[in-house]
Amino acid sequence: MLMYSTCIFCNRSLDTNEAIEIFPVGRRIAFDGSKGRLWVICRRCERWNLSPLEIRWEVIEECERLFRETRLRVSTDNIGMAKLPEGLELVRLGRPLRGEFAAWRYGDQFGRRRRRSAMYTTAGVGALGIVVVGGAAVGISLGGGYWGYVQLVRWIANERIATRLRHPDSDEKIKVQLKHLEKSRLVPGETPGEWELHMKYARGCSSGFTGGDADTLVYRGDDATEIAGKLMARANRSGGSKKTIGQAVRRIESVGNPESFLTEAVRESERLRREKAGDNPKKLEKSTEGSLAKLPGDIRLAIEMAVHEEGERRAMEGELDILEAAWKNAEEIAAIADSLLVPTEVDEFVTAEKEREGAERKIIVPAGAGSSAPGEPAVAQRSDPPGEAPDRSGSDESE
């Protein structure tokens, strides 16, 4: 089998992968099923090495299959990236797959949380259990009876800390307790598409009881969604069943994307608040507008997914932008190389790229770029005018 193992631009090793048996080269592979292109991206110089034509279709098929199966993936309009557990990264070019929102990846996490939570509940141990034991003794000495005991447990539970933060202005240590979650609200900001988190908190960071009215902090924009995600993870501390996770995913998918789902969630929160209050205006006034902790489990899970997805997507979008620019460049060269018409141009490109790096190395024809033997200097051998290549590869559908 025709194979190459070093980068044609920097001559350094392209490394290997164990995920694709028929093509164990590279740690980052880019493929374009619509044009039949396959590259190994050098992780050292980030340049794109076009693969040999001979095995390309088989490998592209395998890449597509692995990409679909992979849980961790992000996509923009015409480029996507998946990270395989083995460490191989697949860059998929072309139209994104449907249902690209990779919510399934939360499945494991939520399921784990749920099992852990169930364990604590049945065994009656864990952090809460210990507090409750102490609380029970107090409850009995107070003579509260069973009802008093239940209230006490609830009260103690609500004093538990959801998260510790620093005040953005004073840098003072603050804590958000479970009781603050219900009163914290995520509401649309003044700028469309932006969110405001009105978060309740108490000063200090030690565990223990806090009385009086909680203070309120307002976060905006990215900070608001990031902190909301943290709080949501705490509100969802008992995870979710497969069914609930499934419902959460469907909720996001039915809206189309995580971002607009938040809008939907806030609307739903408001609808439920009004429904619960019924005709009682006092009840309505007492409840918190935009309280996310009061929502049904599947919506809460979906919010956590949506908020995390947002953050991760933003982080990876920068990388995808760079890849997209590199792809356009590589595609131009590939179109030429694959047509087998003008190897000189490929040669010129390689030379130019090498000069860019200031390296003096032997010029090697990119594999699959011409009919010269691997390692042999590229020579313009063809006199055929462009567009009339008689031996053009049948499987190549480039225009």
Q: How far is the CB of 351 from Zn ion (least distance, A)?
A: 15
Distance CA 381, CA 384 (A): 9
Comparing CA positions, the residue from 46, 5, 3, 8 lying closest to residue 378 is 8
Closer CB to Zn ion, residue 46 or residue 182?
46
Comparing CA positions, the residue from 236, 235, 239, 302 lying closest to residue 108 is 239
Q: How far is the CB of 41 from Zn ion (least distance, A)?
A: 9
Closer CB to Zn ion, residue 13 or residue 287?
13
Residues of span 23-82 touching Zn ion by CB under 5 A: 42, 44-45
Do the beta carbons of residue 235 and residue 229 sit within 8 Å?
Answer: no
Question: What is residue 178's three-state secondary structure?
Answer: helix
Distance CA 49, CA 333 (A): 10
Order of all β-strands in the sheet with 73-75: 48-50, 37-41, 28-32, 89-93, 79-83, 73-75
Closer CB to Zn ion, residue 143 or residue 358?
358
With binding defined as CB under 5 A, does residue 10 bind Zn ion? yes
Cβ neighbors of 156 (< 8 A, separation 6 or more) are 128, 131, 132, 135
CA dihedral 91, 96, 97, 99 (to 10 degrees): 110
Closer CB to Zn ion, residue 47 or residue 308?
47
Cβ neighbors of 363 (< 8 A, separation 6 or more) are 347, 350, 351, 354, 377, 378
With binding defined as CB under 5 A, does residue 316 bind Zn ion? no
How many residues in the shown chain lie near Zn ion by CB under 5 A?
6
With binding defined as CB under 5 A, does residue 7 bind Zn ion? yes
Q: How far is the CB of 40 from Zn ion (least distance, A)?
A: 9
Candidate list 4, 9, 39, 67; residue touching Zn ion; CB under 5 A: 9
Comparing CA positions, the residue from 30, 47, 45 lying closest to residue 82 is 30
Q: How far is the CB of 24 from Zn ion (least distance, A)?
A: 18
With binding defined as CB under 5 A, does residue 367 bind Zn ion? no
Question: What is residue 68's three-state secondary structure?
Answer: helix
CB neighbourhood size of 10 (10 A): 18
Q: How far is the CB of 78 from Zn ion (least distance, A)?
A: 24
Tokens of 94: 């072309």
Q: How far is the CB of 368 from Zn ion (least distance, A)?
A: 17
Interface stretch with Zn ion, choices 4-12, 78-86, 172-180, 308-316 (CB under 5 A): 4-12
Interface stretch with Zn ion, choices 9-17, 24-32, 62-70, 82-90 (CB under 5 A): 9-17
Q: How far is the CB of 45 from Zn ion (least distance, A)?
A: 3
With binding defined as CB under 5 A, does residue 93 bind Zn ion? no
Closer CB to Zn ion, residue 45 or residue 277?
45
Q: How far is the CB of 369 from Zn ion (least distance, A)?
A: 16
Residues of span 177-216 touching Zn ion by CB under 5 A: none
Closer CB to Zn ion, residue 203 or residue 356?
356
Residue the block writes with tokens 């497969």: 242
Closer CB to Zn ion, residue 9 or residue 201?
9
Residues of span 134-163 touching Zn ion by CB under 5 A: none
| Contact set with Zn ion (CB under 5 A) | 7, 9-10, 42, 44-45
